[in-house]
Amino acid sequence: MLQKIRLIFLVFVFQWIAVEASAQERDTLHLRNGQVMIGRLLAITLGIIEFDDADLNVQNVRYHKIKTISAGSRTFRIETIDKNFYYGVLKPSNTYGEVIIDNSLEEKAYQIADIYELRVLENRFLKKIKGTISFGYSYTKSSDIGRRNIDVNLKFTENKFNVALTASSIFTNNQGDKTRDREGILLNGFYDLDEVWLTGLLLNYQRNIELGLDRRFQQGLGIGRRLLLKNNLQGVLVSGLVTNQERDLEENSSGSLYEFPVQFSMNYFHYSAPNIQISFTSGMYFGINQDGRKRFDGETRINWEVISNLNLGIQFYSSFDNASLAGSSNNYDYGIVFNLGYKLK
């Protein structure tokens, strides 16, 4: 009996030691110059390795400086430029600039430069949210006008499913008269059907007093295709069907309006001195039950990470509607927004 108790105790101790060792496991970057970085692999995005070094904090390392990578502390979502997805870990390779992707079913060697994107499959919900939260303000003494803007851009990733939330607001204080000039809240979710095709839905709210729009609620379903898969560039073309409910500035409601959308989005990344991300979105909407109505919404964002977690941003936006809404005679709106933001990692 005593021997059994001792045996159980020893098994428990060894299991505890194994768990502790696993919990303390670290990822390793082997650099071409012979140096070794030990810590946590956070992401690989279009040629840049984001690594939390145990001594140097978060570092962005260009792929051509890496000999190989060992990362088995967590499970990763890995997408390669040959349009394959893997869910597994990285093992070191004896070939310079190469890693071995292990998804527990097979092991396959890839050049690090051919890894299009790598993300950690976090267990905690909040850890899965990445993005930026930004604020801006402008003021002119001569006209006593103060203009503020808020911008939120967040993304949640889970296996083949990802959700993106984009929200922005521009409001003006003109000698005590406050107006909400332009607002938008866009929530969309996409599911990867395979390496190239994806499907998704969107919920959207818009306000634009320059175009006479008090509010627009939009719902849509669509299908998309990845067109660009480069080590610093990605692009997606999406189309489908959307339905709108609009109200103009004179409080006239439209009922349900149906549109055929064609939207193209593109992201460019340059993480090495300067650390810049450029995103471009352009969407055309063709009215189905609106007598030839055509709309356009476009936006370009440039974010520069000055220091870790701190972004300077500039945003160019434009909107067109060939049908003038009551309360405004304008068909076209455009603007430039500057902001300072915090980056969630």
The per-residue pLDDT for 271 is 58
Q: Please indicate whether residue 159 or residue 61 has the higher confidence score (pLDDT).
A: 61
Helix (H) or strand (E) holding 343: strand 332-344
The per-residue pLDDT for 44 is 85
CA-nearest of 118, 122, 49 to 79 is 118
The per-residue pLDDT for 318 is 93
Q: What is the dihedral of CA 328, 330, 332, 337, to 10 degrees?
A: -60
Confidence of residue 231 (pLDDT cuts 50, 70, 90): low
Which sign does the torsion angle of CA 58, 62, 64, 69 carry?
positive
The per-residue pLDDT for 228 is 75
CA–CA dist 146, 151 (Å, integer) = 17
pLDDT for residue 256 is more than 70: yes
The per-residue pLDDT for 10 is 45
| DSSP-based three-state secondary structure for 322 | coil
Q: Are 263 and 281 in contact (CB under 8 A)?
A: yes
What is the residue-wise DSSP string for 195-264? SSEEEEEEEEEEEEGGGTEEEEEEEEEEEEEEEEEETTEEEEEEEEEEEEEEEETT--EEEEEEEEEEEE
CA-nearest of 191, 196, 245 to 222 is 191
pLDDT digits (tens, 9 = 90+) for 131-169: 788 888 766 555 567 788 898 888 887 767 888 999 999
Q: Please indicate whether residue 247 or residue 61 has the higher confidence score (pLDDT).
A: 247
Q: Are 322 and 208 in contact (CB under 8 A)?
A: no
Most confident of 204-218, 228-242, 272-286, 297-311: 204-218
Block residue for tokens 């051919």: 114
Confidence of residue 46 (pLDDT cuts 50, 70, 90): low
Q: Over range 278-297, report the average pLDDT.
A: 93
Q: Are 313 and 301 in contact (CB under 8 A)?
A: yes
Mean per-residue pLDDT of the chain: 83
The per-residue pLDDT for 70 is 93
CA–CA dist 147, 186 (Å, integer) = 22
CA–CA dist 60, 159 (Å, integer) = 24
- In percent, the amount of the chain with pLDDT more than 90 equals 33
pLDDT for residue 42 is more than 80: yes
CA-nearest of 116, 108, 66 to 89 is 108
How many C-beta atoms lie closer than 10 Å to residue 184's C-beta?
Answer: 20
The per-residue pLDDT for 144 is 63
Most confident of 1-5, 221-225, 340-344: 221-225
CA–CA dist 64, 174 (Å, integer) = 52
pLDDT for residue 21 is more than 70: no
| DSSP-based three-state secondary structure for 277 | strand
Q: Please indicate whether residue 11 or residue 327 has the higher confidence score (pLDDT).
A: 327
pLDDT for residue 9 is more than 50: no
The per-residue pLDDT for 133 is 87
pLDDT for residue 12 is more than 90: no
Q: Are 277 and 267 in contact (CB under 8 A)?
A: yes
Per DSSP, 232 falls in state T
Q: Over range 234-243, report the average pLDDT.
A: 93
What is the residue-wise DSSP string for 37-50? EEEEEEEEETTEEE
pLDDT digits (tens, 9 = 90+) for 197-209: 999 999 999 999 9
The per-residue pLDDT for 48 is 77
Confidence of residue 68 (pLDDT cuts 50, 70, 90): very high
CA–CA dist 88, 69 (Å, integer) = 14
The per-residue pLDDT for 19 is 39
